[in-house]
């Protein structure tokens, strides 16, 4: 019986991307590797969609970080930054003199929350995710 691919471990071994459905590894290597890549893309797309929903409904940042792969965290973070920045520009155009300052303060508060988070006892994977998010947020402010 041929092996089955159920997910993908990251090269550093701290992150696992589960496939929605197991994939039978059969046939020529160049074909089944393409099948695995396609399944990974589909799985990441599904995780991205779920993560966008869970980001809006999150109770804590740690809860969201722990349940989400790093590349998805960075994508969702940038997506919401773009959405919030667009709204800030609309608010400025609408006459709000403090819109940019208010958004800046929101970013500072978010960074402070992440900095406080990395000072706690986190797993290696969660600490790495939080540090990547801090870097991204620091550059976007």
Render pLDDT for 26-56 as a digit per residue (tens, 0 to 9): 889 999 999 999 999 999 999 999 999 998 8
Report the b/e string of 6-18 with b at 16+ CB within 10 A. Answer: eebeeeeeebebe
pLDDT single digits (tens) 98-125: 999 999 999 999 899 999 999 999 988 8
Tell whether the model's pLDDT for residue 138 goes beyond 80: yes
Nearest partner of 102 among 117, 83, 84, 116, judged by Cα? 84
pLDDT single digits (tens) 53-86: 998 888 788 888 888 888 899 999 999 999 999 9
pTM: 0.81
- The angle subtended at Cα 72 by Cα 69 and Cα 78, nearest 5°, is 140
């Amino acid at each position: 019986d041929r092996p089955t691919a159920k997910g993908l471990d990251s090269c550093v071994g701290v992150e696992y991307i589960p496939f929605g459905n197991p994939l039978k590894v059969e046939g020529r290597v160049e074909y089944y590797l393409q099948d695995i890549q396609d399944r990974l893309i589909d799985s990441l797309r599904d995780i991205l969609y779920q993560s966008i929903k869970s980001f809006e409904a999150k109770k804590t940042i740690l809860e969201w970080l722990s349940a989400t792969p790093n590349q998805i965290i960075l994508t969702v973070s940038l997506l919401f930054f773009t959405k919030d920045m667009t709204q800030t520009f609309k608010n400025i155009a609408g006459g709000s003199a403090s819109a940019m300052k208010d958004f800046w303060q929101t970013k500072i508060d978010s960074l402070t929350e992440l900095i406080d988070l990395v000072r706690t006892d986190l797993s290696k994977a969660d600490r790495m995710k939080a540090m990547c998010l801090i870097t991204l947020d620091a550059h976007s402010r």
